[in-house]
Chains A and B, each alone.
Chain A
């Protein structure tokens, strides 16, 4: 019976931990997407530079949190893309930001238990 209780405790902890990790990922994803949108809406160089600082900060936080559940390689590729943003301007920057937003959304979608994802 002791073994059964221990297993029930582990099982519930794993289920709760999985739920919490999804919530944390969602919140970090929203933060990153928010800062990407902020950068997209910035029109002058100064506000864009400030928005980039915020994005890099949010990305560092996102990286440390999502590395527990996402493949390291995927995150490293996205990190390189974030670092490259300061070198881009105009349509190129806008395209890169849109792509980054899409990939961050895909990471969250990959963790969310959709029927298609499970099957």
Chain B
């Protein structure tokens, strides 16, 4: 029992390390090669945990080898476009100027249900509103609407807004967030003065945010 426990802890740490080593790409939409690596890792890791007869090294060695190969391949595909297309494929156009490419649908084995599901997920219910729809290499459908169906923006009506950066968390559960002041172009003095003005100390703040224009929002800790 204890050996299984220790092995599970060790392999958990190794897998976390390996996923971090593969980078953020692995955590989002998976490319074909990344999907293969993820499936293989999960299978290999369970074998030495379940069967104590198998040496732990027989799990660790293939995991480390596969992860290293994945990083090498991602580096090589980053450098070579043709290899990237070979391993990951390339985006394909499904709808162009409101017209559906049925041949592309057949080639991709994409059903009408798949297409409409992807469009509905983006609040689009009519194909004729779509200027361009592409299937990405991850299988996700990206859509660009025709100009007349795109939502109105401030730019469309000639309004300009400055300081459009989204709010940044400055204090989290009483602790100032590292690097947050730099991101909004402020310093420690400014933070102290804001807290003094609001009549709170940093320790009493649950969340404090600040946007690009310097507007702050403070939520105090509840007792």
Using a CB–CB cutoff of 8 Å, the interface residues on chain B facing chain A are: 21, 23, 52-55, 57-58, 61, 64-65, 67-69, 71-72, 75
Bound form: Cα–Cα A7–B52 in Å: 28
10 tightest Cβ-Cβ pairs between the two chains A and B = A11-B68, A7-B71, A7-B68, A72-B53, A73-B53, A71-B53, A14-B64, A68-B57, A68-B55, A4-B75
* Inter-subunit contact A71/B61 (CB<8 Å): no
* Inter-subunit contact B71/A4 (CB<8 Å): yes
B59 to chain A, nearest CB (A): 12
A68: chain B residues within 8 A (beta carbon): 55, 57
* Inter-subunit contact A14/B21 (CB<8 Å): no
A67 near B: Cβ within 8 Å? Answer: yes
A89: chain B residues within 8 A (beta carbon): none
A98 near B: Cβ within 8 Å? Answer: no
Q: Which of B52, B58, B69, B75 contacts A69 (CB 8 A)?
A: B58
Interface pairs (29), CB distance under 8 Å: A3-B23, A3-B71, A4-B71, A4-B72, A4-B75, A6-B21, A7-B68, A8-B72, A10-B67, A10-B68, A11-B64, A11-B65, A11-B72, A14-B65, A14-B68, A17-B61, A18-B61, A21-B57, A67-B55, A68-B55, A69-B55, A69-B57, A69-B58, A71-B53, A71-B55, A72-B52, A72-B53, A72-B55, A73-B53
